[in-house]
Amino acid sequence: MTVRALVVDPEAPAGVRAAEIPEPEPGPGQVLVDVRHVSVNHGDLRTDVRPAGTVLGFDAAGVVVRAAADGGGPEVGSRVVACVPGAWARRVAVDIDALAELPDSVASATAAALPVAGVTALRVLRESGPVAGRRVLITGASGGVGRMAVQLAARAGAYVIASVGAPERAAGLVDLGASEVVTGLEGVEEPLDLVLDNVGGPQLVAAWGLLAPGGGIRSVGWASGEPAVFPPYSTFALGATQTLSSFGDASSPGADLATLVALVATGELVVEVGLREPWERVARAFEALAGRRVAGKVVLDVGPTATD
């Protein structure tokens, strides 16, 4: 038996096309999920670094159609959100520690936008330590990770400076908790305790020069596609150690997905879907995201049963 999926094809528009793949056979600690919605992250656009035929995506929401053979995880009929490689298929096998159940109050299309962006924002802030009272710069703040990071950092008591690429992309960020919204780094003069960088390139270098003693940059994205060139000696400074570190830990995300779902259910976290399309229009969605014409997340509806 086969199922429909979105796979890498270098000859197709945006490098992606629909194909038939074998229906997955879940292992003992996995459930089989009928996927209703998926979401697109900037990393998904890099079809050029994946072999032809690779099933794309990591974010999915749907319904469990086969429970785990070992008795763990959700029952058949449970609505779930999952973070799993190869998520853009009509059915996927998911480890029970890589998903969370959804309450009736959280729509599947909303939940589908959570996994990569939400877990990244939650974990990078957690690993950065207490942020209450600290000056936190979030670059690329109008994107999926950025908009969730703004909310989570503000909720934790940080003074949040949201940086966007153009003034028109600033809409709504103050409502989400940003104390300031700037274009690029214009007007940012006081030292920064923490930078969550989604942009990379020259802006990453400039942000490094704004760090307070003991401050750090967490690199979680590189939307600019440009190199970051540090002048000689610019990474040396007297005083407390400054750090630049990568972040991309998506292992065993189930517990953190459950935390994010609970925040959405209580209204403490707003998931903003800037574009929603049928998954047959994936090339158009890719082009909109790459062209920075989307504020927030891109969600694709999968199959004829997608209703919420």
| Rounded mean pLDDT, 126-130 | 94
Ordered domains of the chain (ranges, CATH):
2-113+271-301 (3.90.180.10), 117-246 (3.40.50.720)
Instruction: For 170-179, write each residue's pLDDT tens digit.
Output: 999 999 999 9
Question: Token digits for 10?
Answer: 């270098």
Question: Token digits for 117?
Answer: 């962006």
Task: Name the residue among 96, 90, 76 with its Cα closest to residue 34.
Answer: 90
| Rounded mean pLDDT, 172-194 | 97
The helix (run of H) or strand (run of E) holding residue 213 is strand 211-219
**0.85 surpassed by pTM:** yes
pLDDT at 304 over 80: no
DSSP type of residue 75: P
Note the pLDDT of residue 237.
85
CB atoms closer than 10 angstroms to residue 227: 11
Half-sphere exposure of 63 (CA within 13 A, CB side): 12
The larger pLDDT score, comparing residue 275 to residue 295, is at 275
pLDDT at 81 over 50: yes
User: In whole angstroms, how far apart are CA 166 and each of 42, 181, 189, 240?
Assistant: 18, 11, 19, 34
CB atoms closer than 10 angstroms to residue 98: 23
CA gap 279, 260 in Å, rounded: 25
The larger pLDDT score, comparing residue 236 to residue 159, is at 159
pLDDT at 308 over 60: no
| Rounded mean pLDDT, 137-163 | 97
| Rounded mean pLDDT, 41-54 | 94
CA gap 127, 219 in Å, rounded: 13
Task: Name the residue among 123, 117, 116, 111 with its Cα closest to residue 83.
Answer: 116
Phi, psi of 267, rounded to the nearest 5 degrees: 80, 10
pLDDT at 307 over 50: no
Nearby residues of 175 by Cβ (< 8 Å), 6 or more positions away: none
Instruction: For 210-256, write each residue's pLDDT tens digit.
Output: 999 999 999 999 989 999 999 999 999 889 999 999 988 889 999 99
pLDDT at 305 over 60: no
